Copies of this chain bind each other. A is one copy, B any other.
Amino acid sequence: MGLLIEDDNDGGEVLIPPANFSMVEDGVYRSGFPQLENFGFLSTLNLKSIIYLCAEPYPEENLKSLQSNNIKLFQFGIQGKTDPPTPMPKDTVLSALRVLVDVRNHPILIHCKQGKHRTGCLVGCLRKVQNWCLSSVLEEYQNCAGLKWRQRDLAFIEEFDVHGLRQCLYSIIYQYNGYGLKRRKLLYQEENLVVQEQHKPQATKGW
């Protein structure tokens, strides 16, 4: 777990996670917008990448911190609160999801402004890729959004289709690992192998 047992009274650093910080999966974190005071905490995560989901340019001091820690920034400009409300852009979320499921980018932090709506939608889509049941996906979204949860975000997550992405993941695994039984068993129930082979995606189309 890498417990930090430095003691504030003994001169160790008090760690200040960004607002609304939590761990999503091994090597995947989510939060609100990191401030200067959070940089010490973030350095304990040994991040390789950040997915930033706002349209506004990344602040200069955050950029400097990324550069000095060799952290790659993936920005997907999604509008926040607008009047009238703008629908969450499916294609942009799908692009972010592709970065997110690529373990070469881990450890990775996802953040927007509050870490509730845009971040919550992306994490919700990840859970669908992971085959979580929908009610659990929506519960997680709501727990993290608190009183500010939005009905249209729940609808977005519910409607978001992860089949295309899954097929791409299959195709990449086929490409890099061949058609051996051992790898296929990781993906499919054995009794479905024949059906799966018929639906095998073509190369890495769409990536």
Contact = CB atoms under 8 A, between A and B. Distances in A.
A25 interface: yes
A129 B26 CA distance: 21
B129 A11 contact: no
Interface centre among A189, A196, A199 (most CB of B within 10 A): A189
* Chain A interface category by residue count: 35 or more
A14 B130 CA distance: 9
Given A26-B2, A101-B3, A187-B6, A17 B136 contact: yes
16 contacts: A1-B101, A7-B166, A10-B196, A11-B192, A12-B189, A14-B131, A14-B132, A14-B133, A15-B131, A17-B132, A20-B139, A22-B22, A23-B23, A26-B26, A41-B132, A143-B146
Nearest to A24: B23
Given A11-B192, A139-B19, A188-B11, A131 B6 contact: yes
Contact of A131 (B8, B22, B133): B8
Number of copies of this chain that the complex holds: 2
A189 B26 contact: no
B131 A12 contact: yes
Contacts of A143: 20, 22, 143-144, 146
Given A3-B101, A16-B136, A19-B139, 14 more contacts: A5-B187, A7-B163, A7-B166, A8-B131, A11-B188, A12-B189, A14-B131, A14-B132, A16-B133, A17-B132, A20-B139, A21-B140, A22-B22, A22-B140
Given A17-B136, A146-B146, A170-B5, A12 B188 contact: yes
Contacts of A41: 132
A205 to B, nearest CB: 17
